[in-house]
Structure 1
Amino acid sequence: MTAPVFLAELTHATPGGTIALEGAEAKHAHVMRIAPGDRIDLVDGAGLRALCRATSVGPQLLHAEVEELASDGAGPRIVLVQALTKSGGDEDAIARATECGADAVIPWQAERSIAKWPVAKAERAAEKWRQALLGAMKQSRRARLPELRPLATSKAVAEQAAAAIADGAAVLVLHETATQALHKAELASGDVWIVVGPEGGITENELAALTSAGAQLVRAGQPVMRAATAGAIGVSHVARAMGRWEIEPGETAADR
C-alpha cells in the first residue's frame, strides 16, 4: 500500500531532518491511526514531496523524519473549467478531476447553472471547493494541489480562454453535438483546458464566444456524460496524452 499523504510546510525540509505536522493534518493522521515507524508522505501542494517515517504521533502534533525529498517537476497544466451544478455535483466533479490529474480549476457561473455563488456566500462556496481539491489530492497521493482560480462568468471564461490560446494552450469544450473526438483533438505543447458546462448545457451564445476565442468542440465518445462526470473523463484523456499515466517497471506512485 502506498504511503498516506498529508499537506505540510516543507520550506526547510532536508533529508535526515524532522518535520512537525500540526493542526488539522496532524488530527487527520491521528484519526488514520498513524503510528511511530509508519511511512508517510508530506507534500507542500506545489510539487515537493518528503518521504518520511513518523517518529511521534499525537492528536494535535506529529513529528516525522525526512528520508528523501522528491519533486514531480513542472510542465504543461491541465485546467478544468467546471460549471457550477446543483446539490454538490460540482464538488464531486472537481474531486474526481483532481484524482485524474487536473492542475487548476476555474468555477464557472454559466448561463444555465442552477447553482449560484452570490457575493455573500461566494467565499464559503469556494472554501468547499478548496476542501474537495485537498481531499482528492491526498486520496490520489499527489504532491500538487490544484490551483483554485476565481469564479468566472461566461464572458470571463471566453476572455481567459482566448488569452490562454494566445499563450500556446489548447482549449477543449466537451459538448454532445461535437463531431470531433476528444482523443483526436489538436493539443499544443502548452496547457490544455477542459471546459464542462452545467446540467442544462452550454448556450449557443456561450459556444459561439468560446469557438470565436479559438476553442475546439470535442466529444469523449458515444455516451453523453453528466456535468459531474465529464470533467474527469476529459482530464483523463488529456493526462494520458501527456504521458502522465505511463508507468515504468517497478515504479510506484511515490516515484512520480
Structure 2
Amino acid sequence: MLPSLRSVAVRPGGSSIVKPNGSDGPHVFVDDLECIQLYAQDHAHLTRSLRLRPGDAFTACDGRGSWRVCRLGRSADTACEPDGEVVFVVPVLPKLTVGYALIKGGRPELITQKVTELGVDAIVPFVAERSVVRWDIERSARHIERLRRVARESAMQSRQVRLPEIGEVADFRCLVSQEGTALAHITGVPISLQHPTILVGPEGGWSAEECTQAPTVCLGDSVLRSETAAITAAALLTALRHGVSSSR
C-alpha cells in the first residue's frame, strides 16, 4: 500500500500547509466556500452515520482545489459555520489520466473508487476493438452519473481537494492522438511520467492494429485483470509524480 501523500497548499502570505488529512474531521464537498450549504445526504452522513454534534469540526471543499475547516452549526438554521480561512492547494503536475475499456459488472465502479483514492486527475472509459461491453446513449448517461457519484464519495473518504474529471465514453482513436498517451502492455517499456495518460485494454487484450497506434508501457511482469491493471497504473503514476518511486 502506498503511504499517504501530502500536497503543498498556499495561504495568503506565502506560508505552506498541507491538504486535509483527517485531523480536522470528515471531508465533504460543497458548491461555495464563502456561503457554505451542505447537501442533505452529506448532512445526514455527518450527523447520523458519523455522529457529529454541534461544534464538531469537518473540512469542506469546492472540488477545485480550495478547502476550509468548518464546524457543525449549533442551531437548526445554521448547518455549518466556517472556522478557518480558505486554503488553495496547488495542483501537482503532470495531470494524470487513467482510461479503461468498458468491462462487465461493477468493476467500472471499483476502478473509479480506487483510482480516485490514489489521486488521478481524470478517468476515461472508452470502447476498444475487442470490447464486449457497449453502452447505448441512455445507459451511458446513467453509468457515467453513477461513476461520478462513486468518485465523489471516494474523494471525500480520501480527502482529495479536486474531483477527478469523468467525461462521456471516449473514442479510442481520439485518446491515442493526444500527446503523452500510452497503452498498458506487458511487453512495453517501464512506466514513466513521459506518458501521464495510460489506457488499459479490454479482457481480450489490444488488437494488433491498436498496438501500433501509441507507445506501450509495462505495469509489471504479471498478466493482470483489467480492473487490477487500471488501479496499478494509477498507483504507479501517482507514486512517480510524488517522488515515492522512480522509473528505471
Please tell me the TM-score bracket, short chain as reference.
0.7 to 0.9
Match of 1:85 in 2: 103
1:100-129 per-residue CA deviation (whole Å, 9 max, x = no partner) reads 111111111122222221112111011111
Which structure 2 residues correspond to residues 65-80 of structure 1 after superposition, within 5 A?
Answer: 65-74=82-91, 75-80=93-98
Displaced runs of 4 or more, over 3 A: none
Match of 1:192 in 2: 196
Structure 1 residue matching 2:69: 3-state secondary structure = strand
Match of 1:236 in 2: 235
Structure 2 residue matching 1:108: 3-state secondary structure = strand
Matched, 1:130 2:148: yes
Instruction: Specify whether residues 226 and 61 from structure 1 end up closer, same or farther in structure 2 by C-alpha distance, changes over 3 A only.
Output: farther
User: What displacement does 1:27 show?
Assistant: 2.3
In the alignment, is the contact (CA less than 8 A) between 1:80 and 1:231 conserved in 2? yes
Match of 1:33 in 2: 51
* Letter in structure 1 aligned against 2:181: V
Distance in 2 between residues matched to 1:42 and 1:130, nearest whole Å: 18
Task: Count matched residues.
Answer: 221
Match of 2:39 in 1: 22
Instruction: Specify whether residues 45 and 240 from structure 1 end up closer, same or farther in structure 2 by C-alpha distance, changes over 3 A only.
Output: same
* Contiguous gaps of at least 5 residues in structure 1: 14-18, 247-256
The normalised TM-score by structure 1 is: 0.78
Matched, 1:43 2:42: no
Match of 1:249 in 2: none
Structure 2 residue matching 1:20: 3-state secondary structure = coil
Distance in 2 between residues matched to 1:116 and 1:148, nearest whole Å: 17
The normalised TM-score by structure 2 is: 0.80
User: What displacement does 1:244 show?
Assistant: 6.5
Distance in 2 between residues matched to 1:224 and 1:104, nearest whole Å: 24
User: What displacement does 1:61 show?
Assistant: 7.4
Matching residue within 166, 170, 183 for 1:173: 183
Q: Decide which moves more: 98-107 or 231-240.
A: 231-240
* Contiguous gaps of at least 5 residues in structure 2: 1-21
Distance in 2 between residues matched to 1:33 and 1:233, nearest whole Å: 35
Match of 1:153 in 2: 171
Q: Decide which moves more: 237-246 or 220-229.
A: 237-246
1:50-73 per-residue CA deviation (whole Å, 9 max, x = no partner) reads 112222487x97213232322221
Matched, 1:9 2:13: no
Q: Determine what percentage of the aligned residue pairs are the same residue.
A: 27
Match of 1:139 in 2: 157
Match of 2:133 in 1: 115
Distance in 2 between residues matched to 1:238 and 1:48, nearest whole Å: 23
Instruction: Specify whether residues 217 and 5 from structure 1 end up closer, same or farther in structure 2 by C-alpha distance, changes over 3 A only.
Output: same
* Letter in structure 2 aligned against 1:6: V
Distance in 2 between residues matched to 1:131 and 1:229, nearest whole Å: 21
Choose between structure 1 and 2: higher helix proportion: 1
Instruction: Specify whether residues 57 and 98 from structure 1 end up closer, same or farther in structure 2 by C-alpha distance, changes over 3 A only.
Output: farther
